[in-house]
Amino acid sequence: MDLLLETDVPLAAMNTFGVAARAARLVRVHSQLDVRQLVDHPEFGIAPKLILGGGSNLLLTGDPRQLVVKVEIQGLRVVRDDSDATIIEAGAGVSWHELVRWSLAQGHAGLENLALIPGTVGAAPVQNIGAYGLELAERFHALDAVDLTTGRVVTLDATACRFGYRDSLFKHELAGKSVITQVRLRLPKPWVPRIGYADLERHFAKLGVAAPDAQQIFDAVCAIRRSKLPDPAVLGNAGSFFKNPVVNRTIRNEILEDFPEIVSYPLEDGSYKLAAAWMIEACGWKGRELGRAAVDARHALVLVNRGGASGKEIKALAEAVQQAVRQKFGITLEFEPLVV
């Protein structure tokens, strides 16, 4: 089937910030074959490309000049199910939350802590998404991707993907150079609940539930996320806009001397993760507005489009927050979303 080119496509509904922008040219891919045809196309093959999934980790500051490749590959299936683990496969265009919901409905637990994270399955490994005490890397088995230069299909395991905190190979060497088409996840058996995260502990203590099942954890995560984070369908946002900075013990101790209340978490390698939300709030930015953009009043890590904000306005707000934190704490917060 020939690839269909769309021109002058509005993108406001394709990014969760709801920022108005237009793609001069857009192609939708529904299969691995479509992506390979795209690479082989005499014109599209050599054109610079912007890969677009759910647009939940993206800030458009203008009309993208690249050919926008909208990944809409569907499909959910169990690849293997034995006494050791269940391996499930999802197309890159599947909604991440739908995958989590589907896997539980099929009786396969293990992804429930990652419920309600916006975006698509294909974007999940790029960001190494994580929440409530679990990261994608811990459930990752392998992915298939098409090289945008050669058209070759490659399969990468967790080691090859080089996962880090909100990081992967796809943010570095492979940025914009491949399209993820399928992702396979490994859900280990026996299932062990992951409820050590403070919000979950408080939630189940309040309910008097000592040993929640996977569905109860899924429901709890959804409830907590809805109570703390704005719904992108109501108030445009991309979830956490800033990464929690990771510093060594020396820097953490220096900051502690001046700010003993700062929230930090020890990591296995001896470094410390600092709570960016705490620092932003300490700088007085929580709930503050800059034009039509604002720092969310409930969660300081979230920047929101109050209505009609441009990508440039949101970026200006992000940079103002970044500067305030740098001046007060000597730490430069990194953006989580891709700024285009």
- The set of catalytic residues is 166, 240, 336
Peptide bond preceding 230 in cis form (omega within 30 of 0): no
Rounded CA gap, 69 and 153, in Å? 17
- Of 307, 315, 304, whose CA–CA distance to 238 is shortest? 304
Provide the 8-state DSSP code for 119: S
Rounded CA gap, 243 and 63, in Å? 26
Rounded CA gap, 223 and 129, in Å? 19
Residue 10: count of CB within 10 angstroms of its CB = 11
Q: For 329, phi and psi rounded to 5 degrees? A: -115, -10
Q: Phi/psi class of residue 255: alpha, beta or left (left: φ > 0; alpha: ψ in -120 to 50)?
A: alpha
Separation in Å, CA 271 to CA 45, 166, 324, 333, 335: 43, 16, 24, 16, 20
SS3 111: coil
The answer for residues whose C-beta is within 8 angstroms of residue 76's C-beta and 6 or more apart is 88, 89, 90, 91, 94, 99, 102
The answer for residues whose C-beta is within 8 angstroms of residue 206's C-beta and 6 or more apart is none
